[in-house]
Amino acid sequence: MGKLLIVGSVAFDDIETPFGKSDKILGGAGTFIGLAASQFNLESAVVSVVGDDFPQEYLDLFTERNIDISGIEVVQGGKTFYWKGKYHNDLNSRDTLVTELNTMADFNPIVPNNFKDADVVMLGNLHPNIQLGVIDQMEQRPKLIIADTMNYWMNHTLDELMEMISKIDVITINDEEARQLTNEYSLVKAAAKIHEMGPKYVVIKKGEHGALLFHNEHVFFAPALPLKEVFDPTGAGDTFAGGFAGHLTEAQNISFESLKNAIIHGSNLASFCVERFGTERMLNLKKEEVRARLMQFKELTQFNIELT
């Protein structure tokens, strides 16, 4: 069975959308990635840090899903990372109202011994030096290292970011960030420049407009599933990444065809995530629902034009 190592925040989110307020709930990139990946047949561990204000029942949600939490440090007397945000009416943009890094400010990830030989490493959005520190702890080069990042690190720690990018196989990045990183408006040109920085595979996330996978001259696209309602976009990108990494770990096959399927699995799981506040939908997601929606993705995208 494949092993997936996940590194990312485990946090409190406090979300307001046009549809309501969540109050303080479970959130964080590591959480969303872990829950999405738990839909697959694999061994996984989340490496993170929380304070002693983090409820045991939240930690239990991980272990109940067979996610190893021995790498989640609980800092006595510390407080858990807290983010409060408010979405605008179209749900495509949001204002951050509060960011309290708390214990996350001094996060020093320790990879559990039995995950130092993980097949796949999924590095959630974090300071690039933290991401690099995880790579250094691996006993052998993983089959695939995937990292997510964001514009904050381009603005504040570009050298470290570039070093991190040079050491990974897959980057997941949104369209505006890809443009900022490369100074290219065309996503085709942006992806080509990012290839040159290191990653063999470039995944560009376009939110409600889907995701692109680039590998040299090859391009694959998965739409987001058109939904009647998007309730809360929080965690959609991380859920996408978790489904992507989860499928590849389960499949134990790192080919372009396999990455295409991983993109579909990620998009599929993200379509559930946005239906409820925070992790609510992902915590109550049945295998039959996932399968039925994969069928919808096929209907949405597959056609039959014979080229004679």
Q: List the x/- string, 265-304, binding to a copy of itself by CB under 8 A.
A: x-------------------------x--xx--xxxxxxx
Distance CA 274, CA 92 (A): 12
Eight-state DSSP code of residue 215: E
Distance CA 120, CA 235 (A): 21
Q: Please identify, using beta-carbon distances, which residue of 205 and 265 lies nearer to a copy of itself.
A: 265
- In our burial notation (b when 16+ CB lie closer than 10 A, e otherwise), range 89-110 reads eebeeeeeeeeeebbbeebebe
Q: Are 70 and 44 in contact (CB under 8 A)?
A: no
The verdict on 226 binding a copy of itself (CB under 8 A) reads yes
The verdict on 218 binding a copy of itself (CB under 8 A) reads yes
Environment class of 290 (CB within 10 Å of its CB; exposed 0-12, middle 13-18, buried 19+): middle
Q: Report the nearest approach of a copy of itself to the CB of residue 223 (Å).
A: 5
Q: Please identify, using beta-carbon distances, which residue of 196 and 299 lies nearer to a copy of itself.
A: 299
Q: List the x/- string, 233-272, binding to a copy of itself by CB under 8 A.
A: ------------------------x--xx--xx-------
Angle ∠(239,263,45) on CA atoms, nearest 5: 45
Q: Among residues 93, 203, 188, 100, which one has the least CA distance to residue 148? A: 203
Q: Please identify, using beta-carbon distances, which residue of 283 and 295 lies nearer to a copy of itself.
A: 295
Site size for a copy of itself (CB under 8 A): 38
Q: Report the nearest approach of a copy of itself to the CB of residue 275 (Å).
A: 12
Q: Report the nearest approach of a copy of itself to the CB of residue 293 (Å).
A: 11
Residue type, 1: M
The contact set with a copy of itself (CB under 8 A) reads 89-90, 185-189, 206, 209-210, 212, 218-221, 223, 226-230, 257, 260-261, 264-265, 291, 294-295, 298-305, 307
